[in-house]
Structure 1
Amino acid sequence: MTVSLQSTFGSAFVGLVVSAVLYGVTILQTYLYYRNYPEDSRILKWMVAVLWLLDTAHIVLCTIAVYSVLVLNFNDPTILTTPTWCVIVQTDFNGLIGFIVECFYARRVWLVSRNIYLTIVILILSVIHFALGIVFTVGSFEMTRANFGELVWVTSTGLGSAAAADMMIGISLCWYLSKNRTGIQRTDHLITTLMKYSLTTGFLTGIIACLVVLTFGIMPNNFVYVGFFWLLGKCYVNSILAALNSRESLRERAHPRDGSFLNMSGVTPSVVIMSPTRRRPSLSVNVDTAILSKADYPPPPSASTANSVPSPRVS
């Protein structure tokens, strides 16, 4: 099998650079989450911590894989046809990240729709994605790069399930959110914003998963698919962090706080959602009036005053 450095680890190097940029965004969003949402539940905080640790381990494994080939074994061409343990193991980290994120969004679908069948289908597709990732890892250790074409069905089925789950999440969230329109312009605008977030999240990861399947099916013996696959995990993590961090922005647009930017700037928020039990504060105006009088001459003294004041003596 004839392979070139450009089509193998050259493509992987490009994917590593873009992944490192997205990992920087992950660090920033993780910091913003823990700073802005200290009152979140422990389960949610632990989930964010686990995703960050998995993403960190993934970028470390990718860096080791590229460094070991391009630096440590730069004069050994046989390394291009030998699968390294770092490239193989990183698959499971990405698969576990995708599984956690898809389960999180499946819970959101359940809360919005209360459709148990739809939620179960999404969870089943997520399990297939994660399980076939493990199958790919085990199979990669037992064969050479020349036989990677035998694993096309594993990758196509696993990542195809991931793409189907992501698109189902995006479409179902948009569908059930659209059914909650009230006809009030401000409320509908907020629902439209949430629908845009859902579509962007679901279709972005779904399109990248389809690109991985397409490139691996056409070119299983090079690493073009690896570059896209490394981006997939970073998009999963950043999508869920963006969804968590956007809550404060949406809440601010719905209920501007005193002293906030929207409140101080005099901009009327585009969305106002009032709770059924929340009443508008009553406005009362108290006007105090007083009558002031002014005379050019002092008033004449009263009778009692006149008796008490001695009359002037005339000489």
Structure 2
Amino acid sequence: MPTSPLASTLGVWLVTQLLQAILYGMGLLQAYLYFYWYPGDGWFTKAAVILITLCETAQTCLFFGGSYQFFIFGFGDFTPFTPVPWESKAQLLALTLSTFIAQEYFAHTLYLIHERKILYPLFVSLLGLASLGAGIAQCSILFSITSFVELGKTSTALNAQAATALACDFAITAGLCWRLNTSRTGIQSTNRLINFVIMTVINRGVLTMLFALLNIILWVTQPEAFYFLLMNSMCGKFYMNSMLAILNTRDHARTLARGGSSIAAPSFAMNSRADTRGPIGVNVTVTETMHE
């Protein structure tokens, strides 16, 4: 079967749209479940969920708008890469903002579980700001070009954004895992809870770091294809889903803590769905209950 010359460009674009639509649907379901299950959360957490959902909604709609320009208005045009639809440029800005919101949310989580010590969370927050700045620079350059052939002009900004996002994700994962691991006690139910949260954090970090790394590799090795676009677009959806998954698994984590221990923390409230303010974290106070 002959390969289409558009397989590595518009073909990848269509695959990207399909995959991110699936992940977007998963994210919307998680957002709905979050507001249904945890109406008592504080407004900081609610605002983060609302903002990241709005950004990912805008990104998905704009990406579809770019597809419409290519495949409807550009139908039969065998030079579809000129001009670049403005929707294709704007979707990158929405993606950059979505990534920043998730990174700053996790920086705030680190601030809470590190007993409000500012240095390490500030470092993570600055990495997030650096990633945002590089992303905005990339968007600015992208709006100045007229053809995908000129994408090479965004190379420095693209690599800087992906590298700082990768560094930020690594710092978030390392900081959360270290603090959680030092919260272990001799009580089995508490350690079971901590193991669950650590695995959740690692799974979150591995996905986003892997795709950020692949984004750089594919851009450097195959800049003429859109494979890097697939990795870049997936990152935003992974941020959204991982952030909401961590928030939505708090009740499951609470069941792991049952069995003779009660855990209370301003950042990981375990008492009820109506009292789950703040991001997930572990600042553990354990009260052991004796069972006859």
TM-score of the alignment, normalized to the shorter chain, above 0.5:
yes
- 2:261 aligns to what? 272
Partner residue of 1:230 out of 209, 230, 233 = 233
Do structure 1's residue 28 and structure 2's residue 29 form an aligned pair?
Answer: yes
Alignment of 1:77-96 (within 5 A): 77-96=78-97
Provide the aligned C-alpha RMSD in A. 2.2
Partner residue of 1:118 out of 117, 120, 123 = 120
- 1:19 aligns to what? 20
Q: Structure 1 residue 279: deviation in Å?
A: 8.1
Alignment of 1:192-211 (within 5 A): 192-211=195-214
Cα gap change, 1:111 to 1:79, in 2 (>3 Å): same
Q: Which amino acid aligns with 2:36?
A: R
- 2:148 aligns to what? 145
The one-character-per-residue Cα deviations of 1:52-75 (angstroms, maximum 9, x if unpaired) are 111111111111111221232121
Q: Structure 1 residue 202: deviation in Å?
A: 1.4
- CA–CA distance in 2 between the matches of 1:215 and 1:81? 23
Cα gap change, 1:85 to 1:192, in 2 (>3 Å): same
Q: Structure 1 residue 280: deviation in Å?
A: 5.2
| Contact 1:106/1:119, CA 8 A, preserved across alignment | yes
Do structure 1's residue 184 and structure 2's residue 187 form an aligned pair?
Answer: yes
Partner residue of 2:131 out of 126, 129, 132 = 129
Cα gap change, 1:32 to 1:142, in 2 (>3 Å): same
- 2:249 aligns to what? 246
TM-score (norm 2): 0.85
Q: What runs of 5+ residues in structure 1 fail to find an aligned partner?
A: 256-268, 284-315
The one-character-per-residue Cα deviations of 1:71-129 (angstroms, maximum 9, x if unpaired) are 32121122224322111111111110111111111111122224432212211111111
The one-character-per-residue Cα deviations of 1:24-55 (angstroms, maximum 9, x if unpaired) are 10111111111111111123222212211111
- 1:264 aligns to what? none
Q: Structure 1 residue 274: deviation in Å?
A: 5.5
Cα gap change, 1:280 to 1:273, in 2 (>3 Å): closer
Indicate the SS of the match to 2:184: coil
Q: Which amino acid aligns with 2:256?
A: R
Q: Which amino acid aligns with 1:89?
A: A
The one-character-per-residue Cα deviations of 1:156-192 (angstroms, maximum 9, x if unpaired) are 1111100110111111111111111112222111111
- Whichever of the two has the greater Rg, that structure is 1
| Contact 2:261/2:287, CA 8 A, preserved across alignment | no
- CA–CA distance in 2 between the matches of 1:122 and 1:108? 11
| Contact 2:192/2:257, CA 8 A, preserved across alignment | no
Q: Structure 1 residue 140: deviation in Å?
A: 1.3
Which 10-residue stretch deviates more, 35-44 or 21-30?
Answer: 35-44
Q: What runs of 5+ residues in structure 2 fail to find an aligned partner?
A: 265-284
Cα gap change, 1:280 to 1:181, in 2 (>3 Å): closer
Cα gap change, 1:154 to 1:248, in 2 (>3 Å): same
- CA–CA distance in 2 between the matches of 1:6 and 1:81? 18
- CA–CA distance in 1 between the matches of 2:13 and 2:94? 17
Indicate the SS of the match to 2:80: helix
- CA–CA distance in 1 between the matches of 2:148 and 2:64? 20
| Contact 2:81/2:149, CA 8 A, preserved across alignment | no
TM-score (norm 1): 0.79
- 1:308 aligns to what? none
| Contact 1:19/1:230, CA 8 A, preserved across alignment | yes
The one-character-per-residue Cα deviations of 1:183-219 (angstroms, maximum 9, x if unpaired) are 2222111111111111111121111111111112222
Alignment of 1:34-45 (within 5 A): 34-45=35-46
Cα gap change, 1:280 to 1:218, in 2 (>3 Å): closer
Alignment of 1:43-62 (within 5 A): 43-62=44-63
